[in-house]
Amino acid sequence: MDDHPIFRQGIRHLLETEPSIEALAEVGSVDEALVWLQTHRADVVLLDHNLPGCTGVAGLGALLQAQADLQIIVLTVCDDDEIFLDAVRSGACGYVLKDGPPDRLLEAIVAAARGECRVSDPMVRTLFQRINIDTAPPTDGAIRYTRELPQGERVTAREQEILEHLAQGLSNKEIARDLGISPNTVRNQLQRLQERLQARNRVQLALYARDLGLG
């Protein structure tokens, strides 16, 4: 989803190089996407941040209302920390900068279809700095959420280790390798945490944990 036809065509040609990806449609605005979603379904949407009449972050909510299980990757030139964090808070499962290598975008799309998140390297550093899971609760200016764990529950040391790796954009397999546990263990623990914190995706889960001062 981008308001520049030449750019959209370039992305479509890139997607056609990956056999596991099928490009279903290209549109120039959130309104066009909403019309398309009335009669179709998609696994993943690429969303430009600056669109006519509606910023990408504002459009996230409308797209997710149209299809709740839609995985949305913000594809943008904007490396502003606050816009990135707003996108994550609004439900984006990925944030990819347009000046990055094409293979990173393909990787992000494939990961999103599996329910995983990918973020461009400069934004990963921002996310990790804002999470700091082992530190005190957030100071002024930090993003806050209102999710609460049931009384008496805590995040275990192992869960905190998994969340720290999650903040770096690692897959379940990579987290499992680093921690010496199975990918199934990683997946199960993340699923339980998402349910307890009502997090929509993995990145939100890490931010929720930071803002709740867990551990």
- Do 132-211 and 5-119 fall under one CATH topology? no
- Among candidates 28, 23, 75, which has minimal Cα distance to 48? 75
Closest to 163 measured CA to CA, from 138, 197, 114, 121: 197
Instruction: Give me the pLDDT at residue 73, please.
Output: 93
Note the pLDDT tens digit of each residue in 166-176: 766 677 889 99
The answer to whether residues 188 and 75 touch, using CB atoms and an 8 Å cutoff, is: no
For domain 5-119, which CATH number applies: 2.40.70.10, 3.40.640.10, 3.40.50.2300, 3.30.565.10?
3.40.50.2300
Q: What does the domain layout of the chain look like in residue ranges?
A: 5-119, 132-211
**Per-residue pLDDT tens digits for 133-143:** 433 444 433 33
Q: Report residue 13's pLDDT band, with 50, 70 and 90 as the boundaries.
A: very high
Q: Minimum mean pLDDT among 6-20, 50-64, 87-101, 196-210: which range? A: 196-210
Domain 132-211 - what CATH class?
A: mainly alpha
Higher-confidence residue: 96 or 124?
A: 96
Q: How many Å apart are CA 201 and CA 127, to the nearest integer?
A: 14
pLDDT in tens, 54-83: 766 778 888 999 998 899 999 988 888 888
Q: Are 100 and 124 in contact (CB under 8 A)?
A: no
